[in-house]
């Protein structure tokens, strides 16, 4: 394992790895990564490249370049303190800024793809620093080229975000809107939304320092309209959200709960009784225990709904 603190160090470690014929795995905070029992036969690079710079400003927008090694939540806090909107709903997500585009992090109605202008990365194929535009990242729901066809090619060095000086506008994501309505909160600022999201997340997600977990273990399911209609025949109350491409998102936590697994313990893992997307390690001793629990849950949802749910954390 090694750390990099500059773009030059990214190039140096890549060249050394090639000389030794070793693969590289870039690690941010590690909160969304599962390591197999046998370890990783290569070089784990912890990205610690710093930086936070306002590079342009207009009466309505501020564009900021941020080092990939910065704490994501600290970045969100800084932008909220600047009274900027665009990523405030992504508060309290653990990890580094460079990891944010990899799976196109999203929560409570926002995704990093909505504000990301471009990013700089070290291209291991060409041994050069390149700039990739938002479009070149090929963002989709919890996905990008960095998790799909170009996995392992790039070391992200910095990202550039365009944020806005306008106030957040309702209606907000349902959980946030319900929270605001229940407390009669009618003044909306980036800080108000950040505080709401932090409170919701702290009550919904167990602290990994106290109860070992990787946050949401499964992605929310994306299904075709015909399958949603089939599910509605038996479950007319099924929650669903329209996606831009004509498909529909169903909360996977709801699917797991209907399959009877919410709060259930299996193979040393416990499905969180407050949020069925979360798996907590109670007594599992190996990766095999985790895999058995995961596969049983996936199979139960598939058998009941004909929906194949997918794991969210990366594996090495």
In a 13 Å sphere around the CA of 12, the CA atoms on its Cβ side amount to: 8
The gap from C-alpha 8 to its chain's centroid, in whole angstroms, comes to 27
Average pLDDT over residues 100-107: 94
pLDDT tens digits, one per residue of 110-168: 999 999 999 999 999 999 999 999 999 999 988 999 998 899 899 999 999 999 999 99
d(CA 119, CA 98): 9
Q: For the chain, which residues make up each domain, given as ranges?
A: 2-47, 52-164, 221-315
pLDDT at 316 over 90: no
d(CA 105, CA 123): 22
216 as an active site residue: the answer is: yes
Confidence of residue 261 (pLDDT cuts 50, 70, 90): very high
312 as an active site residue: the answer is: yes
Answer yes or no: are the C-beta atoms of 32 and 53 closer than 8 Å.
Answer: no
Give the gyration radius of the chain's Cα atoms: 20
Q: What is the pLDDT of residue 203?
A: 86
Q: What is the pLDDT of residue 101?
A: 97
Helix pair angle (174-182, 190-204), 10° resolution: 100
Is residue 183 classed exposed, middle or buried when 0-12, 13-18 and 19+ CB atoms within 10 A define those classes?
A: exposed
| Cα angle 144-149-150, degrees, rounded to a multiple of 5 | 80
pLDDT tens digits, one per residue of 52-63: 999 999 999 999
φ/ψ (deg, to 5) at 312 = -90, -45
Q: Which of 91, 118, 144, 216 is catalytic?
A: 216
> Per CATH, the architecture of 221-315 is what?
Alpha-Beta Complex (3.90)
Q: What is the DSSP letter of 71?
A: B
Q: Tell which residue, 88, 83, 93, 90, has the closest CA to residue 62.
A: 83
142 as an active site residue: the answer is: yes
d(CA 179, CA 196): 7
Fold of 2-47: 3.30.43
pTM, whole model, 2 decimals? 0.88
Q: Tell which residue, 72, 79, 68, 62, has the closest CA to residue 45.
A: 68
What is the β-pairing status of strands 52-57 and 61-67? Answer: antiparallel
pLDDT tens digits, one per residue of 166-224: 999 999 999 999 999 999 999 999 999 999 999 999 888 888 888 999 989 999 999 99
d(CA 65, CA 316): 29
pLDDT tens digits, one per residue of 2-41: 999 999 999 999 999 999 999 999 999 888 899 999 999 9
Answer yes or no: are the C-beta atoms of 255 and 221 closer than 8 Å.
Answer: yes
Q: Which of 118, 142, 144, 158 is catalytic?
A: 142
In CATH terms, 52-164 corresponds, of 2.40.50.140, 3.40.640.10, 3.40.50.1820, 3.30.465.10, to 3.30.465.10
pLDDT tens digits, one per residue of 302-311: 999 999 999 9
Place of tokens 């709903």: 89
Q: What is the pLDDT of residue 48?
A: 97
């Amino acid at each position: 394992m090694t750390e990099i603190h500059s773009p030059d160090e990214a190039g140096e470690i890549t060249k050394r790895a090639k000389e030794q014929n070793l693969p590289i795995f870039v690690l941010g905070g590690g909160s969304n990564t599962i390591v197999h029992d046998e370890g990783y036969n290569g070089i784990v690079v912890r990205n610690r490249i710093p930086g936070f710079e306002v590079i342009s400003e207009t009466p309505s927008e501020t564009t900021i370049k941020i080092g990939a090694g910065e704490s994501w939540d600290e970045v969100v806090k800084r932008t909220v303190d600047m009274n900027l909107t665009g990523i405030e709903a992504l508060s309290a997500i653990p990890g580094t800024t460079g990891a944010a585009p990899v799976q196109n992090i999203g929560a409570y109605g926002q995704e990093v793809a909505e504000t990301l202008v471009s990013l700089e990365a070290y291209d291991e194929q060409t041994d050069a620093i390149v700039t990739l535009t938002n479009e070149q990242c090929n963002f989709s729901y919890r996905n990008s080229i960095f998790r799909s066809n170009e996995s392992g090619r790039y070391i992200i060095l910095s990202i550039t975000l365009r944020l806005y000086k306008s106030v957040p506008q309702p209606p907000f994501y349902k959980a946030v809107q319900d929270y605001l309505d229940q407390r009669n909160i009618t003044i909306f600022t980036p800080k108000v939304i950040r505080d709401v999201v932090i409170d919701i997340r702290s009550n919904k997600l167990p602290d990994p320092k106290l109860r070992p977990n990787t946050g949401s273990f499964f992605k929310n399911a994306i299904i075709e309209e015909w399958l949603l209609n089939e599910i509605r025949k038996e479950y007319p109350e099924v929650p669903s959200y329209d996606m831009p491409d004509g498909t529909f998102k169903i909360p996977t936590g709801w699917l797991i709960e209907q399959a009877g697994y919410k709060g259930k313990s299996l193979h040393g893992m416990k499905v969180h009784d407050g949020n069925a997307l979360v798996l907590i390690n109670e007594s599992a001793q190996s990766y095999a225990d985790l895999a058995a629990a995961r596969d049983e849950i996936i199979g139960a949802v598939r058998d009941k709904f004909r929906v194949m749910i997918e794991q969210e954390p990366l594996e090495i």
